[in-house]
Structure 1
Amino acid sequence: MAKSQGRFLFVDNTAVGLAALPPRLDRHRVDVLQQYEIDRLNWAVYDAVILTIHADQIHLMELKDKFESYLACGGTVLFNGHVVQPFLPELTRFQPLPKRGRNDLIVHREADHPAFDGITGELLSFRKGVSGFYGRGMNPPPEGAFVVNSIGADHWPLDWVVEREGGGRIFVHAGNDIWGVLMIGSPGNLPYVQRFFDWLSESSSLKDTIVAV
Structure 2
Amino acid sequence: MSARGGQRALAHALLERHGETVAARSGIRLANTPQPLYQLLVLAGLLSAPIRASVAVAAARALFDAGLRTPRRMAAATWQQRVDALGEGGYRRYDERTATQLGDGATLLLDTCGGDLRRMREAAGGEATALRRELQKVPGLGPTGSHIFLREVQGVWPEFAPYLDAKAVQGAERLGLPGDPRRLARLVGADRTAAFASGLVRAALDRSVAEDVREAAGA
Give the structure-2-normalised TM-score.
0.30
The structure with the largest strand share of the pair is 1
Rg larger in structure: 2
The structure with the largest helix share of the pair is 2
